[in-house]
Amino acid sequence: MNFSIDWLTFEWRLIARSRLSVVALLLLLVLSTLSVWSGVQEVARQRDTIAQLAALQAQDAAVATTRNATGGNAGSAAYYTFHHTWDAPADAAFLALGLRDVAPYALRIRALGLQAQLYEGETFNPEVALPGRFDFAFVLIYLAPLFVIALLHDLVSSERQSGRLRMLAAMPDGGRLWRRRVALRFALLLACLVLPVLAGAGWAGLDMGASVIVLAVAASYLAFWIGVSLLVGAHGRRSVTNATALMGVWAVLTLVLPTLANVALTRAIPVHQGVDLMLAQRQVVHGAWEVPRDETMRKFYLGHPQWQHSAPLPEGFHWKWYFAFHQLGDESVAGQVQQYRAGLLARQAWTDRLGWVLPGVGVQAVLHRLAATDLPAQLAYQQRISSFHEALRNFYYGYLFTDLPFGPAQAAHQPVFAPAPGAAPAPWRAAAAVCLLAWLVFAAGAWRLVRIKGGGER
Amino acid sequence: MIKRIALEEWRALARDRAAVVGLLLLTVLMLVAALTAYEQQRGANAERARYQAQSNHEFQAQPDRHPHRMVHYGHFLFRPVNPLAAFDPGIDGYTGSTLFVEGHQQNSANFGDVRQTSLLLRFGQLTPAFVLQVLAPLLLVFFGHAAVARERESGTLRVLLAQGVASRQLVLGKLLALCGFTALMLLPALAGLAWMAASGHAPWLPVLLLAAGYTGWLLLWSLGVVLVSTLFARGRDALLVLLAVWTVAVILLPRWIPDLASSAVALPTRYENVINVQRDYLALGDSHNPQDPKFAAFRDGLLKQYNVTRVEDLPVNLKGLVSMEGERRSTELFNRYAAAGMDRQQAQSRLIDHAGWLSPALALRRLSMTASGTDLASFRSFLEQGEAYRYALIQGLNKLHAEEVHYADEGQAGKENRISNSHWQGFPPFHYRQAQVDEILLRAAPAGAALILWILALTGLTWWLGGRLGRAVR
């Protein structure tokens, strides 16, 4: 025991004596802390915004209800009343802010055609969004490997260049020394990286499973880069050559290949249907004014037989006709909506697959899935809006198609949006895939390291 | 002497297999990036032009109907891509490309790529701009960091100085060699840009601005690399320092500073904006209802103007005129909110620009996006042109309503209150006007000045330290 403490203090002293290493470790700690802190701030801000919007919307809905109080008509109530929907940030959202800066996380919806409302953009400055957020995912995926490289690229070569390598290799159980050195650096890097995350997780009330995944993924990603550093560094080359080669590997794995993959993906799976379905839906909705009203109703009753015994349309305007053709507009593009979603999900699926071979992409996918800030999370929010919209329509139809009066008393029973049920299922499989690859590379690096011979001094 | 030193350094670089391979890889990457970005830009433009034509056709092919139905039918506008987006797509993937224009409302541009792709887009886009902004400096760092330090480390510096080579000559020679290396990296991009201008795809001035900007950017890095190389006795230290500088300037600050700017100037969500706009809009009165008391003064003014006592006696349709007046009032309101929102975004961007004096990477990005017409100001210009088109279209339809539909017939069953669809064909299609050259120059000027200042500062510093190098060795 005493012995092991001795080597620990000895090795630590070695690291501490190199000012550069200490500065690097401190810098990593600071960056990681800043990223977690800014993520936590951002999540708090989003929660506040959602609460404020809810209050604002409640006021607006109250105004609509009072305005409708004298008329007592479900149609005009449905037309003028908007409803609050929101997508609260998950507990893990502070780790990876993802698409939440470019997609709305709160949307007001009314019972009219959904497809004209669902794709509303959020106000954001594209120049701010373009480089991406400064969050923990960024620090882990882009910056942490650079620190690994800085601390490990000359692990072997510095000993060789100073002429100690032959002696170290000649020591009994020489592998132990390398194991200790690597383990200590690994532990220090990991600590600097994840201590702020643990603090953030405690603050956000992150559940155990999610915390374990974050730790496992962060440790594995570090292990991957340590493995790569060892594989490159164990060859008998100079420190500078190692650093150059490692930075090259980093640039290719985190900058070049993912962007190449993105080009390939957008090309292989084109998604134009978003615009198409919007144009198509408009044609149907606006064309309806020229279609004989009875024909519209006949078509509508075909798909919704529960209302077919509604009274015939009166001479003038009737809201049920208006809502019927809006719904027919949505239904006419239902197939395109399916295709659009399928196209987007296919892009996501291929990205996930890419994550099995590119650890940076894999970690990105796992963290964003965990944080529920990725494309599937956005689609899930749209899906929840759709279900709510369905409930809203049915609620109003109950008054519209039976000509029941609708007043504030009835308005009090309007459906309320159901937010996401707690945490999303943890991405265990994707995380396992990332970890597996990472530790294989680590094992290869470690194996290469212990086989180092003292020769090849330059 | 300088030339000989440069040639020597060149020979060393050419012998270094890694440097040659690195350069080749960068060139291949640049070609792939240029081709895919060009293809993508052309594809996007073709697609948007097709959609625009389809939309125009659908608008003109609408049947005979009441003009106010057309006000609600509206129109779709598609934002064309600037041809130079093939070089630097800037914010193009982040802004919507589809704008739905209709009466009584200003909509947002929807269907930006960023919401339609997995998070891969957030790793960056493979474009010539990305290669030159991010990867080329890294290559320069790898193969230039030891230029002077190596001579010092191996003791040849002392020998050279003893033989009467001035230390400044040596530094300039190394710089020249590195600039040659830089020129090789720039060559494919410059050739591509020249081709775009010569073939008439893009105007010359922005192309020259881009060429100058990226030449300046890589010159800056060449200077910086040689400078750091003279500062450190060991190549290893120079490399680590340069890598740290690269990481901070190219990777860290461009992410962090926008984040700071966005928390310094908060943007209201679209949601709350819509509620506020709607509240103010309802306070303006209902322009669908000519009896709305909010329009009483307007109505009385009309009666007086035409010298009649009853609205039925007006030679024009009161409903159409009230619609026009309502649209005028509401557009004023919308524009006020839209301008306020955009001003806040531009305030954020200005904050980022100020940081360009600290990190030239930000200055270069501004210059590049502005010259390529893919910056926020260009997008704002599209939105404003779209809004101007919307207003003209809606008021044109309202005017038809006022002049072609009789007030007495409105809402009367059996009365003809539709007008011929030939009227729809009278509206000119939307044409997006790209920014003028002088606007581009004006917007890019501060960023260009920041780059020039950086180059001057580093040149001065290199000159000064180059002179002191001899003393450091002795």
| Residues 323 through 342 of chain B touching chain A, CB cutoff 8 Å | 341
Residue B57 has pLDDT above 90, yes or no: yes
Q: Please compute the mean of the pLDDT values over residues B445-474 and round it to a whole number.
A: 89
Give the model's pLDDT for residue B145: 87
Instruction: Output the six-digit token pair for A30.
Output: 């600071």
- Picking from B74, B76, B271, the nearest residue to A107 by CB comes out as B271
Compare all CA atoms of chain B with the CA of A358 and give the residue at the minimum distance: B120
Average pLDDT over every residue of B63-81: 91
CB A204 within 8 A of CB A43: yes
The ipTM value here is: 0.89
**Does the CA dihedral B283-B284-B288-B290 come out positive or negative?**
positive
Residues 6+ apart with CB under 8 A from B358: B253
**Closest alpha carbon within chain A to B352:** A128
Buried b (16+ CB within 10 A) or exposed e, A330-368: bbbbeebbeebeebbeebbebbbebbeebbbbbbbbbbb
Pairing of strands A106-109, B75-78: unpaired
pLDDT band at A455 (very low <50, low <70, confident <90, very high): very low
Look at B114 and A129 and tell me if their CB atoms are within 8 Å. yes
Q: Report the pLDDT averaged over residues B412-441.
A: 85
So what's the pLDDT on residue A457? Answer: 39
Indicate if the pLDDT at residue B415 is higher than 80.
no
Report yes or no: B435 and B381 within 8 Å, Cβ to Cβ: yes
B240 reaches A (C-beta below 8 A): yes
Chain A nearest-CA distance from B406, in A, is 20
Has residue A273 got a pLDDT over 70?
no
Round to whole Å and give the CA distance between B6 and B443.
38
pLDDT higher than threshold 80 for residue B118: no
Count Cβ–Cβ pairs < 8 Å, chain A vs chain B: 231
Tell me if B270 sits within 8 A of B381, measured CB to CB: no
Contact indicator for A110, A83 with CB cutoff of 8 Å:
yes
Question: Cβ contacts of residue A201 below 8 Å, gap of 6+?
Answer: A210, A211, A214
| Tens digit of each residue's pLDDT (9 = 90 or more) over B124-165 | 788 999 999 999 999 999 888 888 888 888 888 888 888 888
Q: Tell me what the pLDDT averaged over chain B comes to.
A: 89
> Containing H/E element for A106?
strand A106-109
Between CA B353 and CA B450 the distance in angstroms is: 10
pTM: 0.89
Higher pLDDT, A293 or A173: A293
Q: Indicate the residue type of A254.
A: T
Q: How far is CA B433 from CA B342, B378, B430, B467, in A?
A: 19, 10, 10, 52
Range of A74-83, B434-443, B448-457 with top mean pLDDT: B448-457
pLDDT over threshold 50, residue A170: yes
CB atoms within 10 A of CB A62: 13
- Predicted confidence (pLDDT) at residue A1 exceeds the cutoff of 60: no
Cα separation, A201 vs A208, in Å, equals 9
Question: Cβ distance A427 to A213 under 8 Å?
Answer: yes
Host H or E run for residue B109: strand B109-110
Check CB contact under 8 Å for A130 and B65.
Answer: no
Q: Which of B368, B367, B378, B374 is nearest to B92 (CA)?
A: B374
Look up residue A28 and give its amino acid.
Answer: L
Q: Which of B188, B193, B177 is nearest to B140 (CA)?
A: B177
pLDDT at B411: 67
How confident is the model at residue B474, as a pLDDT?
58
What band does A456 get if pLDDT is binned at 50, 70 and 90?
very low
- The reply to whether A382 touches chain B by the CB within 8 Å rule is no
Interface test with B, best of A128, A357, A363 (most B CBs within 10 A): A128
pLDDT given at position A458:
37
For residues A241 and A75, the answer to whether their CB atoms sit within 8 Å is no
Q: How confident is the model at residue B8 (pLDDT cuts 50, 70, 90)?
A: confident
A120 touches chain B (CB under 8 A): yes
- β pairing state of A83-86 and A106-109: antiparallel
Closest residue of chain A to B35, computed from CA coordinates:
A263
| pLDDT tens sequence across A29-61 | 999 999 999 999 999 999 999 999 999 999 988
Q: Can you give the pLDDT at residue B123?
A: 75
A386 exposure class (CB count in 10 Å sphere: 0-12, 13-18, 19+): middle
pLDDT above 80 (res A454): no
Of B95, B113, B270, the CB nearest to A120: B270
Distances, alpha carbon A293 to alpha carbons A273, A313, B408, in Å: 29, 8, 24
Residue B427 backbone class (left: φ over 0; alpha: ψ -120 to 50; beta: rest): beta
Give the residue from chain A lying closest to B17, CA to CA: A241
Residues of A in contact with B56 (CB under 8 A): none
Tell me if A131 and B51 make a contact (CB, 8 A cut-off).
no
Is residue B128 within 8 Å of B88, Cβ to Cβ?
A: yes
Q: Tell me which of A386-400, B200-214, B229-243 is least confident.
A: B229-243
- Taking an 8 Å cut-off on Cβ atoms, the answer to whether A123 and B251 are in contact is no
Rounded to a whole number of angstroms, the distance from the CA of A176 to the nearest CA of chain B is: 28
**3-state class (DSSP) for residue B99:** strand
How confident is the model over A360-375, as a mean pLDDT? 94
Portion of chain B with pLDDT greater than 70, in percent: 98
Q: What does the pLDDT average to over A121-130?
A: 89
Cβ B98–A278 below 8 Å, yes or no? Answer: yes
When pLDDT is cut at 50, 70 and 90, the band that residue A3 belongs to is: low
Of all residues in chain A, the one with the smallest CA distance to B38 is: A263
The mean predicted confidence, pLDDT, of chain A is: 88
- pLDDT tens sequence across B176-187: 999 999 999 999
Average pLDDT over residues A281-286: 86
- Here the tokens at position A450 are 């212990």
CB contact under 8 A, B263 and A121: no
**Chain B residues within an 8 Å CB radius of A132:** 122, 255
Across A16-30, average pLDDT: 83
Residues of chain A numbered 155-174 and touching chain B (CB < 8 Å) = none
User: B273 in contact with A at a CB cutoff of 8 Å?
Assistant: yes
DSSP secondary structure string, A183-249?
A: HHHHHHHHHHHHHHHHHHHHHHT--HHHHHHHHHHHHHHHHHHHHHHHHHHTSS--HHHHHHHHHHH
Chain B CB within 8 Å of residue A346 CB:
no
A425: pLDDT confidence band, cut at 50, 70 and 90?
Answer: confident
A194-212 pLDDT per residue, tens:
999 999 999 998 988 899 9
Q: Tell me, what amino acid is at A205?
A: G
Query: Are residues A262 and B125 in contact, defined by beta-carbon separation less than 8 angstroms?
Result: yes
The verdict on a CB contact (< 8 Å) between A120 and B118 is: no
pLDDT tens, position by position, B301-323:
989 999 988 888 888 888 899 99
Query: Which positions 131-160 of A are in contact with B (Cβ < 8 Å)?
Result: 131-134, 138, 142-143, 146, 150, 154
